[in-house]
Amino acid sequence: MLQQVYPSPQHDYVYELNKDFHFAAAHYVPSEEAGKCQRVHGHTYYANVTVAGDELDAAGFLVNFAIIKKLIHERFDHTLLNDDTDSFDEADPNRFPTTEVVARTVCELVQQYLDGTANKPVCVQVFLRETPTSYCVYRPKRKGGKSHE
Ligand SMILES: Nc1nc2c(c(=O)[nH]1)N=C([C@H](O)[C@H](O)COP(=O)(O)OP(=O)(O)OP(=O)(O)O)CN2
Ligand SMILES: [Zn+2]
């Protein structure tokens, strides 16, 4: 596993956990601006998901590390991202499977799971590395409009 220092989101929660995992996926970006990336090609995406909260669950977890990885692996590992039309849409640039959109989608999928838990932690950051030289950091806005930073 790639070890690196990630940017820290700021928040007022007492617990923060981070889960690193990777998944392999193919994609293409359906825009002329994407150049060679318009062609189908593959990446090993390296993700770091940050979850924060004030309460633990019955297992003493903020959230089980394994569940975060499983959620994303079951959805995207060894897939063509463009085929996942629930997550991505070739008619809408805000839903092309770019690093930015994949990072946001990972955050939304994790948050959807967290919303169904009793202790209700929040996903405050997703760091997603697409290549050795390219990555995106996504921080959702807080409900009041501010981001967790
Ligand atoms: N803002 C974005 N720009 C680009 C994205 C993206 O998702 N968001 N994606 C691509 C391509 O899909 C490509 O996989 C990554 O591009 P790039 O960093 O240029 O890849 P290289 O390995 O060729 O980078 P070098 O540092 O030049 O080796 C393009 N842009
Ligand atoms: Zn790519």
Cα 134 to ligand 1 centroid, rounded to whole Å: 6
Which residue range is the domain that position 126 belongs to? 29-138
Which among 2, 126, 105 is positioned nearest to 52, based on CA atoms?
126
Q: Which atom of ligand 1 is the closest one to the Cα of 98?
A: 7
The whole-angstrom separation of Cα 133 and Cα 46 is: 12
On average, the pLDDT of the chain sits at 95
Secondary structure (3-state) at 114: helix
In the chain, the number of structural domains is 1
Question: What are the pLDDT digits (tens) for 82-97?
Answer: 999 999 999 999 999 9
Q: What is the CATH number of the domain that holds 57?
A: 3.30.479.10
> Tokens representing 103?
């990072």
State ipTM: 0.95
Question: What are the pLDDT digits (tens) for 104-121?
Answer: 999 999 999 999 999 999
Please report whether residue 148 resides in a domain.
no
Please report whether residue 69 resides in a domain.
yes
pTM of the model: 0.94
Indicate the top mutation candidate among 38, 99, 101 to test ligand 1's pocket, ranked by most ligand atoms within 8 A of CB.
Answer: 99
* Torsion of the alpha carbons at 4, 50, 12 and 147, rounded to the nearest 10: 100
CA atoms within 13 A on the CB side of 27: 30
